[in-house]
Amino acid sequence: MRKIESLDQFKSKKAGISILIVLHIIGVAGFLSPLSDWFVFLTPVNLIITAGMIWIDSKANNRLGWPIALVIILIGYLIEVLGVYTGLIFGDYVYGDVLGWKILQVPPLIGVNWLIVIWGGFSLAVHLGFSRRFRWLATALLVTALDMLIEPIAVHYDWWTWTNGMPGLQNYVAWFITAAIMAGIFEAYPLVQKPRLGLVAFVCQVLFFGLLYLAIF
């Protein structure tokens, strides 16, 4: 029975990896195609599918509880609200309409995006063998580096807009601090025991934004 369960888990993992890779390949091709506007507005669908797949995969492997997931999502969303309203956290920026319905000028889906990137960055830190003492630091560095790829693409496709055109150092410092806090929550509650689809999702996002950057700029 144990061998059958392991085989089923392997097949599930393999299928999940394949779906995430294909999803992001189609995304890159679509963003660069004449149907770019249509694909851009499918961004929320991509985020929901990615988060959903990571969540389903975690049920048997990471034991992620709803309360912890909601804490990460709420922290991500609320810090963006403070950021938009005050300009004191990330800098002066506003959200466009691409990420969907907004509450207090911020799409709640951005909280889901924070969950995806933090989970992915932490999963990669675990996979690379960082000790518990340094995993929060590695996660914060990885996630901040990913944001450096995300920002020019996000501005190009009007996901959000910066008053000064592009973010400054303040944005990346805030990303680092926020990611470090969230990584601390992941460390306190062992959400990533096996870095499975979270890791794959992070690598897919790096390739997605990296390829778009090379193609556009």
- pLDDT tens figures, 113-152: 999 999 999 999 999 999 888 999 999 999 999 999 999 9
96: left (phi over 0), alpha (psi -120 to 50) or beta: beta
Residue 29 has pLDDT above 90, yes or no: yes
pLDDT digits (tens, 9 = 90+) for 82-124: 999 999 999 999 999 999 999 999 999 999 999 999 999 999 9
**Average pLDDT estimate for 207-212:** 96
Burial class (CB in 10 A: 0-12, 13-18, 19+), 97: exposed
Residue 58 has pLDDT above 80, yes or no: no
pLDDT digits (tens, 9 = 90+) for 140-199: 999 999 999 999 999 999 999 999 889 999 999 999 999 999 999 988 887 666 667 889
Residue ranges per domain, the chain?
A: 2-216
The pLDDT, as a whole number, for residue 191 is 67
**Average pLDDT estimate for 44-48:** 93
Residue 65's pLDDT band, with cuts at 50, 70 and 90, is low
Residue 160 has phi, psi (to 5 degrees) of -150, 165
Residue 3's pLDDT band, with cuts at 50, 70 and 90, is very low
Average pLDDT of the residues of the chain: 88
Residue 205 · residue 115 · CB < 8 Å = no
Residue 66's pLDDT band, with cuts at 50, 70 and 90, is confident
DSSP string, 163-201: TTSS--HHHHHHHHHHHHHHHHHHHHTT--SS--HHHHH
Q: How far apart are CA 4 and CA 59, in angstroms?
A: 18
Instruction: Look up the pTM and report it.
Output: 0.90
Residue 107 · residue 136 · CB < 8 Å = no
Above pLDDT 90, what percent of the chain?
71
